[in-house]
Amino acid sequence: MTTASFAIPSTLARWLDQRRQMFIGGHMVDAAGGEQLDVFNPADASQLARVPLGNADDIDLAVTAARTAFKTWRHSRPNRREKLLLDLADALEARADEFALLETLDNGKPLTFSRHMDLALAIDFLRYTAGWATKIEGRSMTPSMPAVPDGHRLVAYTRREPVGVVGAIIPWNFPLLMAVWKVAPALAAGCCIVLKPAEDTPLSALMLAELADQVGFPPGTLNVVTGLGHDAGAALAAHPGINKIAFTGSTQVGKLIAKAAVENMTRTTLELGGKSPVMVLRDANLEAAAAGAAQAIFFNQGQVCTAGSRIYVHEDVHDRFVEHLVKQAKALTLAPGTEADSTLGPLVSAKQQRRVLAYIDSARQQGGVIATGGGTGPDGGYFVEPTVITGLAQESRCVQEEIFGPVVVVQTFRDLDELVALANDSPYGLAASLWSNDLTAVNRLIPEIEAGSVWVNGHNLLDPCMPFGGFKQSGIGREMGDSLVTHYTEEKSVVMLV
């Protein structure tokens, strides 16, 4: 099989050519309605594969399969769950090149990033999370209740029990990594899971399910239903058989999920949108800060929830900083992700390309100056040039709204109070970075910044051991770190009169 300009290796080409099915209860199955969904390569708009168009009936089957599996999986030995997750990490590592290429073909991102970021991070996360399976513990207490009959005493402790069946809904920007961020903690905690990947990028989740089956996860522990958000996704969020919904996506859809979940008191964690400020103080090494800021916005074509999409730079160094940043943007190579020199691939879809270009137009209309970029890229793919905009007001759309593309707005500040006010003037609060070696200023700013993650002299410094999630409209709850204990288990209090 070839896309317009690239020969896909035969094993993967065969996999893509086969009729793709969903994974429910340990079986590959078609959608109940028999319909299919086309999957495209955003580098050249060619059709890559077709997957089942699952709907509420398929979700129902998957939830039933997960509930059945949960009856035994919840009592499985923790070290068995740990070993299976480690085996899954090993299996993924053994096929990392194939998975990376699949991810690039489906999502568009440069292959070197798929291999050395998406796959590497997914494998690391699986291994980190595997270790938690054997470390879920309760506490023992000594109650002071007076009404204990003579000669008796109280034994009191808490247990952490798996929350149940998890419904997971994920976006298209890091398809495999987002899948693993949900699947690993659920399975480690003894939960079963029904995963609905994004309609634009469903392929790596299906391949992951095959791998999980091969390494020995019991039927029904992991189920994948492909389909549309407003149909299969909404059915999953509203399903009474789900105990927890783990969602990553837009704030707009996150609110719909939360409303649906509340009907059944389904537990929710919501990882939502962002508009993360990059703050460059007067003392910063401008060249290093510009290189970091460029990565913060252009990595993954800017389709990153933590993308550094607003830069606030001290007014005295603004012009020099913008010069460095423009140089960084111009050094990027727009090309299909499968080309060796590609550092900026296409956006995920025509829809996303239109959306991002419309934001650039809005900047022009609102008085912005396009310092570099603003156009599209190689013919046939959904490319947008790395774009740096200056001269916009804080109220402008490109400063206030999440663009989710390679577009950054640079503004100035005069003093730290103004910087804090500007940085926090956003409905979002996912992440922020500070570029400075002025310890006093940095430590004054960190507690003032409304963001779930703050990085200093770096951006996207994410690690499985660090809790990740949003303040304000960027979400509820945390992922990573010990969050599988807090978000994938229920705490039960036990008191015994003995």
Q: How far is the CB of 274 from ligand NAP (least distance, A)?
A: 5
Query: Smaller CB distance to Mg ion: residue 1 or 461?
Result: 1
Can you tell me which of 82, 118, 199, 450 binds ligand NAP, judged by CB under 6 A?
Answer: 199
| List 305, 385, 402, 450, catalytic entry | 305
Residue with nearest beta carbon to ligand NAP: 229
d(CA 257, CA 102): 29
Q: Is 237 in the site for ligand NAP (CB under 6 A)?
A: yes
Q: How far apart are CA 449 and CA 471, in angstroms?
A: 10
Minimum CB distance to ligand NAP, residue 26 (Å): 23
Instruction: Please say if 339 is a catalytic residue.
Output: no
Q: Which residue, 278 or 284, has its beta carbon nearer to ligand NAP? A: 278
Provide the minimum distance between the beta carbon of 40 and Mg ion in the complex, in angstroms, as a whole number: 5
Strand 154-162 vs strand 387-390: parallel, antiparallel, or unpaired? Answer: unpaired
Q: Which does 329 bind (CB under 5 to 8 A by kind): ligand NAP, Mg ion, none?
A: none
By the 8 A CB rule, do 53 and 38 touch?
no
CB 398, CB 361: distance < 8 Å: no
* Residue number closest to Mg ion, CB atom: 106
Residue 402 as a binder of ligand NAP (CB under 6 A): the answer is yes
Query: Site residues for ligand NAP, window 301-340 (CB under 6 A)?
Result: 305
Question: C-beta of 303: minimal distance to Mg ion in Å?
Answer: 12
Work out the angle between the directed axes of helices 203-215 and 78-94 (0-180°, nearest 10): 120
CA 323/CA 343 separation, integer angstroms? 20
Determine, following the binding rule CB under 5 A, whether residue 106 of this chain makes contact with Mg ion. yes
Does position 82 bind ligand NAP by CB under 6 A? Answer: no
Q: Shortest distance, CB of residue 282 to ligand NAP, whole angstroms? A: 30
> Taking a C-beta distance cutoff of 8 angstroms, is the pair 196, 233 a contact?
yes
Least separation in angstroms between residue 172's CB and ligand NAP is: 5
- Residue 338 touches which of ligand NAP, Mg ion, none (Cβ within 5-8 Å per kind): none
- Of the residues 199, 271, 385, 402, only one is catalytic, namely 271
The one-letter amino acid at 65: A
Instruction: Tell me if 250 contacts ligand NAP by CB under 6 A.
Output: yes
Distance in Å, CB of 105 to Mg ion, minimum: 8
Annotated active-site residue 305? The verdict is yes
C-beta of 51 vs 56, nearer to Mg ion: 51
Q: Rounded to whole angstroms, how far apart are CA atoms 200 and 196?
A: 12
User: Exposed (0-12), middle (13-18) or buried (19+): which is 474, by Cβ within 10 Å?
Assistant: buried
Only one of the segments 86-94, 210-218, 249-257, 485-493 lies at the binding site for ligand NAP (rule: CB under 6 A); that segment is 249-257
Does 385 engage in binding with Mg ion (CB under 5 A)?
no
Q: Which is nearer to ligand NAP, 1 or 228 (CB)?
A: 228
Contact 283, 438 (CB under 8 A): yes
CB atoms within 10 A of CB 341: 8
Task: List all residues 6 or more positions away from 484 whose beta carbon is below 8 Å from its beta carbon.
Answer: 129, 132, 136, 185, 188, 189
Cβ(358)–Cβ(387) below 8 Å: no
CA 453 – CA 274 distance, rounded (Å): 11
Q: Report the relative pairing of strands 453-456 and 431-435 from DSSP bridges.
A: parallel
β-bridge partners, 18 = none
CB 369 within 8 A of CB 377: no
230 binds ligand NAP (CB under 6 A): yes
CB of 106 to Mg ion, least distance (A): 4
3-state secondary structure of 324: helix
Q: Where are the alpha helices (DSSP H) in 219-250?
A: 234-238
Name the binder of 106 from ligand NAP, Mg ion, none, CB < 5-8 A by kind. Answer: Mg ion
Q: Which window, 120-128, 133-141, 199-207, 477-485, contacts Mg ion (CB under 5 A)?
A: 199-207
For residues 267 and 242, give the distance between their C-alpha atoms in angstroms, rounded to a whole number: 9
Stretch that binds Mg ion, among 194-202, 240-248, 257-265, 473-481 (CB under 5 A): 194-202
Is there binding between residue 272 and ligand NAP (CB under 6 A)?
Answer: yes
Strands (E), 30-147: 36-41, 46-52, 140-141
271 binds Mg ion (CB under 5 A): no
The one-character DSSP state at 30 is -
- Catalytic residue numbers read 271, 305
Interface residues with ligand NAP (CB under 6 A) are 169-173, 196, 198-200, 228-230, 233-234, 237, 248-250, 253, 256-257, 271-274, 305, 402, 404, 430, 470, 475
Interface residues with Mg ion (CB under 5 A) are 40, 106, 200
